[in-house]
Amino acid sequence: MKLYWVKTHRLIKKLFSGFVWDIPGKAKTVYLTFDDGPIPEATPWVLGILKEHNIKATFFCIGDNIQKHPDTFGQVIADGHTIGNHTFNHLNGWNTDKEAYIANFENCEKAIQEKYGNTAKLFRPPYGKIKSAQAKLLRHRGYKIIMWDVLSADFDQTITPQQCLQNVTNNVADGSIVIFHDSIKASANLKYVLPEAIKYLRKNNYEFGVIT
């Protein structure tokens, strides 16, 4: 049973206007984002595809993966991509009290600082689930909470790679933030959809922006 939306409805964006769902204002520009890495089984392949096409993206990293795979994280940084915080243990904010959630966020922030020497001011809540009190604290610290306009659903092993591609091509628009996942679970779909989505976007004269 599908429990996610591929295209974020404008009503959701209006109701939760404190979150960044897309980046309007620049025609024919999309923003590629990757969640759940860095891991050596997926992230270097993604980096290779992006380098081949001269694209910069945003990687929302799990702190535990940063600590486990510092060389892979270093490769993301060396290639000039933007880093975002995705909590230390991929926590569901709806199921986590405020103090525990913020502490987990801080552990990821620390991992980024130790390996990168910089604090990411971009945060994406795992599963897109975050309580208003949690979000308020993060915004108070200067963080932008980055959601999405288009979900590729590459993590969904019940859909085909072709369906995954259609999720992107049928829904992308000017200013869309698109989510992919550099994870083992998503790899089968990702290895098909990412090159094909880039090919489609380039054919349709899209440029690739970076979230700041």
> Per the domain annotation, does 4 fall within a domain?
no
> Per the domain annotation, does 174 fall within a domain?
yes
> Per the domain annotation, does 122 fall within a domain?
yes
**CA distances (Å), origin 116, targets 65, 67, 76, 83:** 14, 12, 10, 9
Which of 57, 90, 66, 88 shows the shortest CA–CA distance to 212? Answer: 57
Report how far residue 59's alpha carbon sits from residue 100's, in angstroms, rounded to the nearest whole number: 23
For residue 84, give every residue at least 6 positions away whose Cβ sits within 8 Å of its Cβ, in sequence order, or none: 33, 58, 59, 60, 61, 120, 122, 123, 124, 146, 211
CATH number at residue 160: 3.20.20.370
At residue 116, the pLDDT reads 85
Into how many domains does the chain fold?
1
The model's pTM is 0.96
> Per the domain annotation, does 61 fall within a domain?
yes
Which pLDDT tens digit goes with each residue over 19-35?
A: 999 998 878 999 999 99
> Per the domain annotation, does 188 fall within a domain?
yes
**CA distances (Å), origin 10, targets 69, 85, 107, 164, 204:** 38, 25, 33, 22, 23
Domain enclosing residue 48, as ranges: 10-208
Report how far residue 192's alpha carbon sits from residue 183's, in angstroms, rounded to the nearest whole number: 14
Report how far residue 157's alpha carbon sits from residue 121's, in angstroms, rounded to the nearest whole number: 32
Which pLDDT tens digit goes with each residue over 148-205?
A: 999 999 999 999 999 999 999 999 999 999 999 999 999 999 999 999 999 999 999 9
> Per the domain annotation, does 16 fall within a domain?
yes
> Per the domain annotation, does 3 fall within a domain?
no
> Per the domain annotation, does 2 fall within a domain?
no
Report how far residue 144's alpha carbon sits from residue 17's, in angstroms, rounded to the nearest whole number: 12
Looking at the annotation, which residues are catalytic?
A: 35, 181
